[in-house]
Amino acid sequence: MTDASSDPRWGDLGEHLAERLEVASGDRVSIFVNDDSALPAAHALIRVAMRHGAMVQTVYQPELADTEELIHSALEQIAEPPAVEAAAMKWSTVHVSFRSMLWPEPSDDARPADFPQRLAAQRQAKGAISTLRWQNTRWAIVRIPTPAWAAQIGVSPASLLDEFFAGALDDWDAAKTRWQSVCDAIDAGTSVTITSADTDLRLGIEGRTAALFAGEANLPDGEVATAPVDDRVDGHISFPGITVFAGEVFENLYLRFEAGRVIEVRADRGAEVARALIDTDEGSHRVGELGIGLSSTVQQWTGDLFIDEKILGTVHIALGRAYPQCGGINESTLHWDIVKDLRVDAAGGPGTLAIDGRPIVDAGNVVWPGLAG
Whether the pLDDT of residue 94 is over 70: the answer is yes
CA angle 20, 59, 278 (to 5 degrees): 80
Within 10 angstroms of residue 84's Cβ, the number of other Cβ atoms is: 8
Buried b (16+ CB within 10 A) or exposed e, 102-114: beeeeeeeeeeee
Kindly list the distances between the CA atom of residue 22 and the CA atoms of 31, 50, 87, 232, in Å, as whole numbers in the listed order. Answer: 15, 13, 22, 38
Tell me the C-alpha distance between 41 and 33, whole Å: 9
For residue 271, the model assigns a pLDDT of 96
**How far from the centroid of its chain's Cα atoms is residue 319's Cα?**
12
pLDDT per residue as tens digits for the range 303-361: 999 999 999 999 999 999 999 999 999 999 899 999 999 999 999 999 999 999 999 99
Question: Is 29 in contact with 94 (CB distance < 8 Å)?
Answer: yes
Whether the pLDDT of residue 3 is over 70: the answer is no
Whether the pLDDT of residue 217 is over 90: the answer is no
Question: Is 338 in contact with 192 (CB distance < 8 Å)?
Answer: no
Provide the percentage of residues in the chain whose pLDDT is more than 70.
98
Q: What is the pTM of this model?
A: 0.92
pLDDT per residue as tens digits for the range 156-182: 999 999 999 999 999 999 999 999 999
For residue 333, the model assigns a pLDDT of 87
pLDDT per residue as tens digits for the range 174-207: 999 999 999 999 999 999 999 999 999 999 999 9
For residue 233, the model assigns a pLDDT of 98
Residue 51 is given by DSSP the state H
pLDDT per residue as tens digits for the range 281-296: 999 999 999 999 999 9
Tell me the C-alpha distance between 355 and 204, whole Å: 10
Give the sheet arrangement for strand 211-213, strand by strand. Answer: 211-213, 223-226, 287-293, 314-320, 335-341
Question: Is 333 in contact with 279 (CB distance < 8 Å)?
Answer: no
Q: Max CA-CA distance within the chain? A: 55
Whether the pLDDT of residue 373 is over 70: the answer is no
Average pLDDT, the chain: 95
**How far from the centroid of its chain's Cα atoms is residue 98's Cα?**
13
Q: Is the peptide bond before 220 cis (omega within 30 degrees of 0)?
A: yes
Whether the pLDDT of residue 2 is over 70: the answer is no
